[in-house]
Amino acid sequence: MVALTSWWQSAVVYQIYPWSFQDSNGDGIGDIPGIIERLDYLNDGTAASLGVDAIWLSPLYPSPMVDFGYDVAEFCDIDPRFGTLGDFDRLVQESHRRGIRVIMDLVLNHTSDRHPWFQEARSSRSAAKRDWYYWADGKAFGRRPNNWNARFGGSSWAWDSPSRQYYLHSFLKEQPDLNWHNPAVRRAMWGVVRFWLDRGVDGFRLDAINWLGKDSRWPNNPFRPGLRGYTRQTHRYDRDQPMGHEVLRELRTLSGNYPEVVLIGEASADTPGGPVAFYGNGTDELHMLFDFRLLKSPWQADRFGQLLAADQQRIPEGGWPTIVFSNHDQSRHIDRYGKGGHAERRARTTAVLLLTLRGTPFLYYGEELGMKNTRLRYRDLRDPYTKRFWPFRIGRDPARTPMQWDESVHAGFTRGTPWLPVASNYRDLNAAQESQNHSSLLSLYRRLIRLRKVYPALSEGAYRHITTAPSDCLVFLRQQPSPSDTDPDILVAVNFSADARTVTLSDFTKVGTVQLSTLTGAGSARPWHPAQFHLEPDEAIVVALPNGEAGR
């Protein structure tokens, strides 16, 4: 086992959705000065704070906000709703002062249709930047260039009346795709990357990387009979073409000129060959990939076990896993996993998984409090994707409501009118209250993050699935890296079922100590015996064991 070499392998990352974290000027929208005010909550260097090592900021760029910042109208500036470049520099400085690294969101696949590049490109067929985007003629009888459909519904082609051609958009029609075949686009975007790295950012979360490579001969995608929406075709030609990898290799080379930059890709769960494809050979594409297959899995110990075992084997050497259960595109996991079960108990169990599995954990703001999907009325909705599929799909707005800081009006998020309603449970569920309560979910997250710092096995250790556990319990060992040290191994046992379970690990002989149980949020001084132990419904325990136990 090789000791970890990079900060991001042992880091805990916290995703901030800037719209909803903290408003400082009363306009009802979160902003950068607001984030700075709250940095101590994230890490003030004491056990009273969460203790995260990095923040990932969803887009802050100037944008018409049709897709809430993922439609970028200028890559080298800050949207005035969020502040100024000066505020951003202060955020980087203040974060670094607290030992918090800063990860920017970077949208490579598309821009806003308001971006000056696209405005110029659409001005005429002979415009200088015309081929910075993808244009195609329609087929006979007014038919679109091909059958590709966009991730957010409808065709991927939008008609541009003045120039009488279609342009390609893999997401909303307000998000035209950049033509990465064009070297001028690459040069411009690499300029953007340098701009932010020179300002001191520590890495990028790369949006929608599956879409970078597409077949610009525009062949039709094959149909998948019987399916509807985005899945009614196999996305063979509109995504995942080799050029995407070429672009990521260029980016990796460029970022290698800066010390310790991390590149994290957002890759779809249905990437051919799995998201691991974007690690390249382990050293030439991305350092980390979000893998949403765990997030999308039903709450079943054997499903989780299978996915984890498969991934550990497939990530090439040099690549590193991520663990993620919630983000700004997903229903919050407390509700997703809580369906048909005890949501609060499962949220605690999930926290243990997030912070003890092998890989870098990504928390989504508010999950540490147990914030739920907020019930919204149609007239409250802001996100076009949520509106389009409402009420048949939950969409994204319910998971984007303001952070619940305290009991004061609008949960301490704003003194104005919040851009999305604050969840009505904020008086009973907020950071201020949970900070005072030792058995709260927030206290559990804090304690788990501290355990990761105390026990190298949790950040560095190999993952070993223990096969002798009952099928509805997931038991695994994190083996500390150098057996000559006295640091313990960590055994984690998670009961996925709503019934109590007795577990026998006959291959283990040594007595351990429970560092944390989700029932109490604390450890226990009593010796723990592997020969037979008990897990309450939805309980997870974290046990320190003398190292060197084999297990099966």
Residues that bind ligand NOJ (CB under 6 A): 67, 70, 107, 171, 207-208, 266, 328-329
Instruction: Count the alpha carbons within 13 Å of 245 in the hemisphere toward its beta carbon.
Output: 14
Residue 75 to residue 104: CA distance in whole angstroms = 11
Residue 459 to residue 489: CA distance in whole angstroms = 11
Q: Which CB sits closer to ligand NOJ, 112 or 350? A: 112
Q: Which CB sits closer to ligand NOJ, 40 or 329? A: 329
Q: How far is the CB of 150 from ligand NOJ (least distance, A)?
A: 10
Q: How far is the CB of 253 from ligand NOJ (least distance, A)?
A: 24
Q: Which residue is it, tokens 């590149």?
A: 263
Token pair belonging to 445: 């997250």
Residue 25 to residue 544: CA distance in whole angstroms = 47
Residue 229, Ramachandran bin (φ over 0: left; ψ between -120 and 50: alpha; else beta): left
Strand order in the sheet with 527-528: 462-465, 473-479, 489-495, 540-545, 512-517, 527-528
Q: How many other CB atoms are found less than 10 A from the CB of residue 382?
A: 15
- Where in the sequence numbering do the catalytic residues fall? 207, 266
Q: How far is the CB of 52 from ligand NOJ (least distance, A)?
A: 20
Q: Which CB sits closer to ligand NOJ, 13 or 36? A: 13
The residues facing 517 across adjacent strands are: 541
Helix or strand (DSSP H, E) at 249: helix 242-255
CB-closest chain residue to ligand NOJ:
70
Q: How far is the CB of 107 from ligand NOJ (least distance, A)?
A: 6
Q: How far is CA 200 from CA 30, 113, 507, in A?
A: 22, 29, 49
Q: At what angle do helices 242-255 and 183-198 cross, to 10 degrees?
A: 40
Q: How far is the CB of 395 from ligand NOJ (least distance, A)?
A: 11
Helix or strand (DSSP H, E) at 34: helix 32-37
Q: Which CB sits closer to ligand NOJ, 173 or 328? A: 328
Q: Which CB sits closer to ligand NOJ, 328 or 464? A: 328
Q: How far is CA 342 from CA 155, 348, 499, in A?
A: 41, 10, 11
Q: How far is the CB of 205 from ligand NOJ (least distance, A)?
A: 9
Q: Which CB sits closer to ligand NOJ, 66 or 493? A: 66
Q: Count the residues in the chain.
A: 552
